[in-house]
Amino acid sequence: MADTLVCVRRVKQEASEEWDESMPLPGDIIEGFAENNADELFVPAKAKSDLSSQLGKISPQTETVWLKVRRGERTLKLCARVMPDKSAVLQRRFTIKAANDDRHET
């Protein structure tokens, strides 16, 4: 059985001409995250529920996290903000936002 991948499906910011390489983009595969930019500390993300569970364990005072994403053949580290998804009433879910643009939300 193949591993389940966590992907960025869409971005809510509609002005795609304002996107840049430092933002999570549609098609990016999230391989893991870390509270700082150290390779050995990245927590792997195998499925959406696994990622949500792991994000729920980080400190509430943590304003930004580092995402390890695969974009095509490249692996990138992106700084992002993780916000609770207020539309999810019964489940604890999160929204990932670009660290440098409040309008950019995945």
User: Rounded distance, CA 36 to CA 93, Å?
Assistant: 21
Q: What is the pLDDT of residue 75?
A: 93
Domain boundaries defined on the chain: 6-98
pLDDT for position 73? 93
Helices (H), the chain: 48-56
From first to last of its 106 residues, the chain has per-residue pLDDT tens of: 345 567 887 788 777 888 888 889 988 999 988 888 766 788 888 888 888 888 888 867 777 899 999 999 999 999 998 887 776 666 677 778 888 877 767 7
- Ranges of beta strands (E only) in the chain are 6-7, 29-34, 43-44, 65-71, 74-84, 94-98
Name residue, tokens 């994403």: 69
List the CATH code of the domain at 6-98: 2.30.42
Q: What is the CA radius of gyration of the chain?
A: 13
